[in-house]
Structure formats: C-alpha cells, structure tokens
Amino acid sequence: MSTPYTLLESRFARIADLDHARGILHWDMETMMPDGAAPHRGEAMATLGVIRHEILTDPALGEAVAAAEADPDRAGVDGAPLDAWQRANLVEIGRVRRHATAVPADLVAAQTRAAAKCQHAWRDARARSDFEGLRPLLEEVLRLTREEAAAKAEALDLSPYDALLDQYEPGGRSARIDTLFEDLAAFLPDTIEAAIARQAAEPEPVALPGPFPVDVQERLGRELIGIVGFDRHHGRLDVSTHPFCGGADGDVRITTRYDEADFTSALMGMLHETGHALYEQGRPEPWLRQPVGAARGMTLHESQSLLIEMQAGRSRPFLRYLAPRAAAAFGGTGPAWTADNLYRLATRVARGFIRVDADEVTYPAHVILRYRLERAMLAGDLALADLPAAWDERMRELLGITPPDQARGCLQDIHWPSGAIGYFPTYTLGALAAAQLFAAAREAIGDLDDRLAAGDFGPLVAWLRRHVHARASATSTDRILEDATGAPLGTAVYKQHIRARYLDA
Amino acid sequence: MSTPYTLLESRFARIADLDHARGILHWDMETMMPDGAAPHRGEAMATLGVIRHEILTDPALGEAVAAAEADPDRAGVDGAPLDAWQRANLVEIGRVRRHATAVPADLVAAQTRAAAKCQHAWRDARARSDFEGLRPLLEEVLRLTREEAAAKAEALDLSPYDALLDQYEPGGRSARIDTLFEDLAAFLPDTIEAAIARQAAEPEPVALPGPFPVDVQERLGRELIGIVGFDRHHGRLDVSTHPFCGGADGDVRITTRYDEADFTSALMGMLHETGHALYEQGRPEPWLRQPVGAARGMTLHESQSLLIEMQAGRSRPFLRYLAPRAAAAFGGTGPAWTADNLYRLATRVARGFIRVDADEVTYPAHVILRYRLERAMLAGDLALADLPAAWDERMRELLGITPPDQARGCLQDIHWPSGAIGYFPTYTLGALAAAQLFAAAREAIGDLDDRLAAGDFGPLVAWLRRHVHARASATSTDRILEDATGAPLGTAVYKQHIRARYLDA
C-alpha cells in the first residue's frame, strides 16, 4: 500500500535516475564530448535540472513530507512505523526540499545561464590575466548568488553565507569555521616558515629523471588505485583537464591528467580521487537512490580524498611500498628512487601562488584567504573592483608572497565564476577531518603502518567503510566524526600531524 | 505570446533534451560503462523513458495538438499562420503522439522489462545455440509485442504489422513491401548463382596479408571518415562490440570494431556508420529539436549508410583512391594491394549464414526470410516452437544452405529478443533506395566517378544534403525519393546495379 512516505521514496528514486543521467553527461562533457556539442549539451543538462527542480518543488511532495513528518509511527508500508534510516531519510528529504523551494525557478534558470557565460569567459580571462574584462559577468553571477543566499537565508533561518555553506556542508556554520580558521591562521605562518627552513637545512631531494611515458603512468596508476580499493566493476579512470570524481550511483568515475615530466602529480591525484571514489562506492547499497544514502557533505568527502592521498599516500610506509614498484615501472635506478627521496619529494613545502598545486602545509592559507574574501563579497563589504588588490594583500599576509599576475591571483579558480560561494572552506575542514580520522584509524589498527608498507589498504578502507562511508547521511558530520574519533572537528590532530611530519621527524 | 503550437514546440524541445540524455547514456552503455553499473543504468534509462512518455501522453499536449490542427492559420506566434515546416511539424507531432498514446504506460513498462531480460538471456542462448532455453522469455516478449501491435492497429487504423512497421518507417506498408520482396525473391536465386559462378571462373582475389595493427586501422579510418565528411566537432568514433551510429543532436557518435586479420571489415563498417552520421549531421539546424527535424525513417537512414558503404565505398573509383593509401598505411606491396584486387575482395559474393556478414547480393535474402517469418509470428501463424525449423527451411529455399546450428540460424539477431518486429524490411528497402539515389546523384554530378577516385566526396554529400538530409521529416519517404530520383521506391535500379557490378562488367 502506498503511503506518504513511500510516495517520497518513489519520487526520490526518480530524482536519483535524473542525477544518474546528469552525472554521466557531466563526466562525458569533461572527458569525451566533441567541442561543437556544447550548446546542445547545455540545453539537455538545463532541462534535466528543471525537471529535477519541478519534482522537488511539486506541492504534492511537500504535502507528503508534512504527512510523513506528522505521523512517522504509521508512515511506513502498511502503516508500520518508520525505521531509523527511513526517519533519517525523511529529515534529508525535508532538507533537500527546503533548499529547492527556497529559490524561485526563474532565479535558478538565470543563475544557470549567468554561470555558464561567466565560466566560459573565465577561461579566456584567466589566460589573458584580465579580471576587469570578466568583472561584468562576475558581477551578475554574484548578484544572483546574493539573491539566492537571501532567499535561502529566509527559508532556512540562517545567515546568507551559512545558507550557501549548508548546501555543500549540511549543518556547517561560519561561526565555527571562524574559530577553526583563526586558530589555523595563527598556527600557519610560523609553521610554514619553520618547515621550509628545516627542509632548506637538509640536502635537496633528488629530482626524478623523466620523461615518464603516459602509458606506463597509467598502468602503474591503475594498479595502485586497484590496491587502494577502487572497484573497477563500478567505475572508470579517464583523463580530463581538471581531475574530478563524478559519474553516478554504481558507476563512479575518476579522472586524472598526466604530466610526462612528473609522474607523481598524476599518481597522487589518482590516490586523491580514489579517496573520493571509495566514499561513493562505500555508501549503503539499499539507500543509494535516496537522500539519506548520499555522502554526508563536502567536509567528509574531502577528508576521504585527503586521507588517502595526504595521510596514507604521502606517508613513509606507503612510499616504501611504492618506491621499488615505481622504479621498476619506469626502469629507474639510483638515489632518486629510494623511498626516502620519494618521501622528501612528496612532502616538499613551498610558498606558491596556486591553490591546487599547494602542499598540505600551505594549502589552508589559500583556503582561509578565499573564505574571508567570499564572505566579504557576499556581505557586500568587498566590491568586486577591489577584489584583485584585496587578494594580493591577504596573500602577502598569509603566505608572504605577491602574485605576479591575476591568472596566478584572483582568477585562478572556477568556483566564483560558477557561482559557488561557501564551498572553499570545506577543503580545509576536510584536511582537519582527514588528520583526525587517520589518527583514529591508526589507533584502531595496531599495525596500520606495516599494512601500508605492504600495500595492504584493506584494514584502513574497512575502517573507513564502517565509520564513515556506510553511515552516508544517516547522521551529521559532527556525529560521524565524534563516533569515529571521540572528538568533534578540531585543529589539534591536524596540527600534531603537521608538526610530526614537517617539524619533529 | 504563447499559443497552442508554441506550447508544442517547447514540450518537444524538452523531449529532445531527454532524448539527448538517452542517446548519450546508450552510447556510454555500449562503449564505456563498467559492467557492474548495468542495473542502475537500466533504472535511469527506464525513468527517462517514463518521463518522456508522460510528456507525450499528457492530455494538455493532446488539447494543444487539437487546437493547433483546428486553426493552423492562426496557431503561430502572435496569431500568425503556421509556415510549411511548422505545419509539417504539427503532422509529425500528431503521429508521434498517436503512437505514444496508443499504448498504456504499464504495457510499455512490461515490454521494457521483458525485453531487457530476453536480450540479456539471448547472449547466452546464442553462445550455447539453445533456442528452447530462450523460448519462454521470447514468448513473453512476443506476447507483449502482439498486444502493442493490436493497440496501435486500433489507434492508427492499420494492420498490426503495419502499425509496428510505421514506427520505424513512417508510412511504410506491408502490401507494398510484399510486392517489392516478391520481385526480389524471384530475381535473387539466379542472380546469386550467376554472380558466384562468374567470380568462380576468374582467378581468386589475393588475400590481404595481415596482421593489421589496430592503431593503424584507426588512423586510416579516421582519415577516411573525415574525407567522406564526418564532422568530428559534432561527433566521435569509438569501439563497441556491435557497431552503431548513435549519440545525440549535435553530437553524433559512431562505433566500429577492429579485426587484426582483416582491416576492410572495420573500414567498410566505418564508411557505413558515416553514411548514417552524415544524415544525422545534415538535418536542418533550426529543427533539430522538433519531430519534423528528425531523420525521415529507417529506409532512408539505411539508404544513406549503404550509399556511402556499398555504392560509393565499394566502387572501383573509390577503391582506386583507397588502394595506395591503405598500402602505404600498412606498408603493403605486391598484387594484393592493387585497386582491382581490393575491388574483387570488396565485392565477393558468397552464400553465408550470417546476415551482418552478408554481401550486398545475398543480403536481401536474409531480410526477406526474416520479414516473412516475423509477419507469420505476429499473426499467430507461426508458433515459436516451430521457428527454428521454419528458419532453416526458408534458408534452403532462398539461399540453398542449412545453418549448422541455431546460433548461425534463428538466434543470430537481437531484434526479436528486444521486441523489434517491423524493423528488418527497412534494411532492404534502404538498399533499394541507396541504389536509386546513387544513380540519380551520378546523373546529376557528371564527374562523380572521377571525384570519388580523387577522394572527393564533396559533390556527392552536398547532393545528399540537399535532396535527403535537409528535408528531414518535412515530407514523406516516397516524396523525398520521387523528388530526388524521379521515381517511387522500386527494384529496377537496384537490379541494374547488381547486374552491372556482378554480372555484366
């Protein structure tokens, strides 16, 4: 017998199917699509988004949510009470729906168009380092994002910034981020200075002698992501300009890009995306097509990629495993190919301009800078005309360097041109969570280092499955972290990790 | 101002976007998808199909059709009269809608499920040559197809077979096919006999000495499809088990499969799919997202692939162009690589069991056999239990050979397991149309042979664009053929072509 709750499940299964299509079409766009197909693809993606939005905002759906919420003890099949997962699903459905109904359809459509135009122009603007040329389009995107934030703030009873943040990190609040980031901002400058000084006092690591043929890189990469646990029966590895983890339920697709001069860049990138993929592939099968079955949010998502790449992938034990295999694959011999040298290359600290190239010590500085600027932009405290100067000033404050041009400054990321405000902080929240989770896993798995040195990710991934992946969205990020690590998200373990790896050892 | 007609255009633009997604997802399924993703992909495809069906059968759409049909002189924007293309679009919309509304949604869903199960089982059944094992699933597919045919027959005022045929070949009628096929069935046996005897009297063609590396085949293939006119900015070439032309508006994707022992098989296959692709890529841009902008039907579609592959691709002039290039690509020398030898290989006639491997002389026999059998099955005159024996008997009648097993007999094609009855005849109708169109093009383009010998497909493709592709579904198959060739579809030109190539020359 159909009940309000079962109606919700069937509507959200339909949304899952639309998202399946959107996920594969997006992957295709980045990896396969011929250039001339962009306009048609844009239309198709927009229409799937509109249909999705129509389903979410259908008043009948709202009535079913209200009816199920009013009587959860009889909302199940044949009047049975909802179980814990069904209740959690109902909570998530309410959340997803509140986000969707907060924004009128014509604003969504206007945002899609403005973001598409601005993202397209951004590629040229970045190539020419021309922020002023991009500014009119970016103003429009920002204006619409502020409209969206205001509408969601009203509907969700949050501040405008938190209303946007909540899309990427459900339950995330800027007051908490402020505290964490202030702590990090105080920790970082001296730590960066000390780490660089310490590395400068040691002999330089030996550069790995390339070139490294792409087919060998790919073969080694596939072997490694398989060892880590990527399920190639439910996923693929391909090439794209900007590496990502996407695809669909049961079909998780990661990408990389190969640099013939440096095989570690693609390899570490593959480990990173594999961390994301393990999360997607580890969600509970029966709930994959429902909101409660989704990954919890971007903080935990990024924690999984950083745990596999930064915590495990760049650890001494794993690099002891990797070194002889990489040497054999590329036919390398000599001092460049020792585990110790690979480790020193993989943990090199440097003040740079580009976020995506940053090491794990300087990375939070890039994020804190963006977080503070985007909050000011959204609040109307920073005019776009003043963004380049503000960017450079903060860069000097946090990292002590000045970008030589806007391409390596405020034009480097696609996030703002695409209307994504509230996303950046999750990178660093994820780094904090990764450190905390890895420390807890090491505590739980007595011989974790030996396992990694033997290329055995089994116990680590099983631990992540149980403590993170399998919980999907059945509870909050905080609860997942507390249950797994005994503490809420904080900076302490991350700082210990940075000290241990870069200052003490 | 929105009018009933403009409402129709916007609804069908939405359907075009869903079809875009379906097309790319289907391509992905055949070329890229990891095996474990099949269940989720199946759900996603089914849901997109259901949403499409809901839009088509929405009563509001029916009312808009009726209103626009009632007053076409004022149905356009701001009450303007519909122009010729809009009127043709309205006709097509009515046709598409009649097909959709004729069948209840639960029958469509039951057919989708039954066909998916039967197709899946068919792969194993074929491998084991086990028709009896497949029969229960095939009975169910046939039962549902007969239900569909009855429903459509009622709604369209056609016979059940013609109602199915009309989906693939709008306006196609079995009475006409009977006449054409009887004529061919009388022509073929002696012609096949004579062609084989004639070739037997000549020295055997020299076999091309392989192996032919896949990367060289691909490079040569890409060069050739580019020369023919495939637009790689709006399409791709990939590999799949069963070659096809698919994809989406503005993104036409063809596939091939490589055989290291025989490069001509992939090459001729690529020319074939390029013929399909040229049709898709040549449809009028402003109408791509409307029913009137669709390719007219499978007869003309198949005519385009056969024209490029069989009429042009296997012609002496084109093989004069190809021979030195293929020899250079594969480093071949000697008598095997002359244009004359390639021609004799490309036009070899043999009685075989497998339709997809058949030459153009014996191919119609394979089609006539299937056409007659599927008509009898649909009418209830042939029980599935008797199909294998009936197949073998007709095979002896038409080709004089008996399949050694069911895999090479009635289990060889996926059409019936997938519920496609009424499709087979379009292959041979397409061959007739291809001969007729090519003869007309040669008449119109005085130096066509010289052009093909120079690898210049420009004038031929321009002629096809104007006379076939650009007309899309604005008029009937018959009208397109009569306008282009001066005659309705017939057997005369095809028979001339076969005589000229296989008996006279």
Is residue A1 pLDDT above 70, yes or no? no
Mean pLDDT of A310-316: 98
Nearest to A263 by CA among A312, A203, A336: A336
What is the crossing angle of helices A263-281 and A339-346, to 10°?
Answer: 80
pLDDT digits (tens, 9 = 90+) for B305-356: 999 999 999 999 999 999 999 999 999 999 999 999 999 999 999 999 999 9
Q: Do A21 and B40 count as a contact with CB atoms less than 8 A apart?
A: no
Residue A113: band (very low, low, confident or very high) from pLDDT cuts 50, 70, 90: confident
**C-beta atoms of A20 and B40 within 8 A:** yes
Token pair for B372: 């007659």
According to DSSP, the residues that pair with A253 across neighbouring strands are A236, A246
A252 has which bridge partners? A235, A247
State the pTM of this model: 0.95
**Mean of per-residue pLDDT scores for chain A:** 96
**Average pLDDT for residues B118-126, to the nearest whole number?**
93
For residue range A232-287, list pLDDT tens digits in order: 999 999 999 889 999 999 999 999 999 999 999 999 999 999 999 999 999 999 99
The C-alpha of B13 sits at a distance from chain A's nearest C-alpha, in angstroms, of 9
Q: Is B17 on the interface with A (CB under 8 A)?
A: yes
Which residues from chain A sit within 8 angstroms of residue B20, using beta carbons? 40-41, 43-44
Q: B-chain residues within 8 Å CB-CB of A35?
A: 233
Mean pLDDT over B375-398 rounds to 97
pLDDT of B98 higher than 90: yes
For residue A313, count other CB atoms closer than 10 A to its CB. Answer: 25
- Report whether pLDDT(B505) > 70: no
Burial label, B326 (beta-carbon count in 10 A; 0-12, 13-18, 19+): buried
Q: What's the pLDDT tens digit per position in B394-450? A: 999 999 999 999 999 999 999 999 999 999 999 999 999 999 999 999 999 999 999
Alpha helix (H) residue ranges in A58-104: 59-70, 84-102
Q: How many C-beta atoms surround the C-beta of residue A312 within 10 A?
A: 25
- Contact call for A37 and B288, based on CB within 8 A: no
CB-neighbour burial class of residue A92 (10 A; exposed 0-12, middle 13-18, buried 19+): buried
Question: Which of the residues of A are catalytic?
Answer: 273
- Rounded Cα–Cα distance for residues B420 and B400 (Å): 27
Rounding to the nearest 10 degrees, give the CA dihedral for residues B495, B500, B501, B505. Answer: 160
Query: How far is CA A264 from its chain centroid?
Result: 20
Q: Using the CB atoms, write b or e for A272-290: b if 16+ within 10 Å.
A: bbbbbbbbbbbbbeebbbb
3-state secondary structure of B36: helix
Say if A233 is an interface residue toward chain B (CB within 8 Å).
yes
| Cα→Cα distances B165→A41, A113, A378, B161, B421, Å | 31, 42, 60, 6, 7
The whole-angstrom separation of Cα B435 and Cα B340 is: 22
B242-253 average pLDDT score? 96
Question: Which amino acid, residue B67?
Answer: A
Which positions in chain B touch A48 (Cβ < 8 Å)? 17-18, 21
Name the residue in chain B with its Cα closest to that of A249: B40
- Spatial distance between the Cα atoms of B115 and A307, rounded to a whole number of angstroms: 45
Dihedral (Cα; A481, A487, A490, A495), 10-degree rounding: -110
pLDDT of residue B390: 98
Q: Does A313 touch chain B (CB under 8 A)?
A: no
Q: What share of chain A is helix, strand, coil (3-state, %, to 5)?
A: 70, 5, 25
Beta-carbon contacts of residue B16 (< 8 Å; ≥ 6 apart): A43, B249, B288, B289, B290
pLDDT of residue A77: 87
Termini Cα distance of chain A: 64
Average pLDDT over residues A288-296: 98
Instruction: Report whether pLDDT(A43) > 70.
Output: yes
Interface of B with A in 115-144 (CB under 8 A): none
Which candidate in B273, B280, B302, B360 is catalytic? B273
Q: Distance (Å, rounded) from C-alpha B389 to C-alpha B381?
A: 14
Helices B298-306 and B263-281: crossing angle in degrees, nearest 10, is 130
Active site residue B273: yes
Do A288 and B40 count as a contact with CB atoms less than 8 A apart? yes
- Please give the share of chain B, as a percent, with pLDDT higher than 90: 95
pLDDT score for B105: 87
CA angle B110, B93, B279 (to 5 degrees): 90
Ramachandran angles phi, psi of B45, nearest 5°: -65, -40
| Other Cβ atoms within 10 Å of B143 Cβ, number | 12
Q: pLDDT over 70 for what percent of chain B?
A: 100
State how far Cα B173 lies from the chain centre: 17
Picking from B300, B301, B216, the residue whose alpha carbon sits closest to that of residue B259 is B216
Q: What are phi and psi for residue A352, nearest 5 degrees? A: -130, 170
pLDDT at B290 over 80: yes
What is the three-class DSSP state of A337? helix
What is the distance between the alpha carbons of residues B222 and A198, in angstroms, rounded to a whole number?
A: 55
pLDDT-above-90 percentage for chain A: 95
Is A47 within 8 Å of chain B by CB?
yes
Q: Considering only CA atoms, which of A356, A368, A369 is closest in space to residue A272? A: A356
pLDDT of residue A451 exceeding 90, the answer is: yes
Q: What per-residue confidence (pLDDT) applies to A384?
A: 98
3-state secondary structure B297-366: CHHHHHHHHHHHHHHHHCCHHHHHHHHHHHHHHHCCCCHHHCHHHHHHHHCCCCCCCCHHHCCCCCHHHH
The strand pairing partners of B235, in sequence order, are: B252
Q: Evaluate if residue B1 carries a pLDDT over 80.
A: no
Q: Six-digit token pair at B375?
A: 């008509």
CA distance B45 to B270: 27
Residue A35 and residue B235: Cβ atoms within 8 Å? no
If DSSP codes are grouped into helix, strand and coil, which group holds residue A483?
helix
β-pair partners for A256: A239
A398 has pLDDT over 90 = yes
Those residues whose C-beta lies under 8 Å from the C-beta of residue A191, and which sit 6 or more positions away, are A361, A495, A498, A499, A502, A503
| Residues paired with residue B245 on neighbouring β-strands, in sequence order | B254
CA angle A440, A445, A448 (to 5 degrees): 100
Residue B501 tokens read as: 């190539």
- Which pLDDT value is given to residue A505? 65
Q: Which of A34, A46, A236 sits opposite B236 (nearest CB)?
A: A34
Beta bridge partners of B19: none
Which residues from chain B sit within 8 angstroms of residue A51, using beta carbons? 14, 51
In the block, residue with structure tokens 């994820």: A430
B269-305 residues labelled b (16+ CB within 10 A) or e (exposed): bbbbbbbbbbbbbbbbeebbbbbbbbbbbbbbbbbbb
pLDDT, mean over chain B: 96
State the pLDDT confidence band at B120, using cuts at 50, 70 and 90.
confident
Instruction: Please give the DSSP secondary-structure letter assigned to residue A403.
Output: -
The residue assigned the tokens 């899952």 is A16
Task: Specify whether the CB–CB gap between A47 and B55 falls below 8 A.
Answer: no
* Rounded distance between C-alpha atoms, residue B16 and residue B24, angstroms: 12
Report whether A282 contacts A231 (CB < 8 A): no
pLDDT digits (tens, 9 = 90+) for B139-183: 999 999 999 999 999 999 999 999 999 999 999 999 999 999 999
Alpha helices by DSSP H, B58-104? 59-70, 84-102
At B450-486, the pLDDT tens digits run 999 999 999 999 999 999 999 999 999 999 999 999 9
Delimit the domains of chain B by residue range. Answer: 4-159, 174-201+354-425, 257-347+431-504
Tell if the CB–CB gap between B24 and A24 is shorter than 8 Å.
Answer: yes
Pick among B33, B35, B255, B280 to test the A interface (most A CBs inside 10 A): B33
> Residue A264's closest CA among A304, A209, A317, A204?
A209
> Is B444 touching A (CB cutoff 8 A)?
no
Q: Which helix (H) or strand (E) holds B407?
A: none
d(CA B47, CA B29): 16
What's the pLDDT tens digit per position in B64-93?
999 999 999 999 888 899 999 999 999 999
- Position with higher pLDDT, B241 vs B338: B338
Q: Is B58 on the interface with A (CB under 8 A)?
A: no
pLDDT at B466: 98
Please check whether residue A250 touches B, CB under 8 A. Answer: yes
From B295, B301, B297, select the one nearest B170 (Cα to Cα). B297
Please name the residue of chain A whose CA is at the shortest distance from the CA of residue B50. Answer: A14
Separation CA A251–CA A27 (nearest Å): 11
**At what angle are helices A316-330 and A214-228 packed, to 10 degrees?**
140
- How many angstroms separate the Cα of A296 from the Cα of each of A156, A438, B74, B466? 19, 18, 54, 55
From the number of C-beta atoms within 10 Å of its C-beta (0-12, 13-18, 19+), residue B198 rates as: middle
Residue A78 has pLDDT above 90, yes or no: no
- Tell me: pLDDT of B2 over 90: no
Contacts of A21 in chain B (CB under 8 A): 21, 25, 44, 48
Contact B14/A at CB under 8 A: yes
Q: What is the mean pLDDT of residues B208-220?
A: 96
From A280, A234, A235, A273, select the one nearest A255 (Cα to Cα). Answer: A273
* Dihedral (CA of A108, A109, A110, A111) sign: positive
A288 touches chain B (CB under 8 A): yes
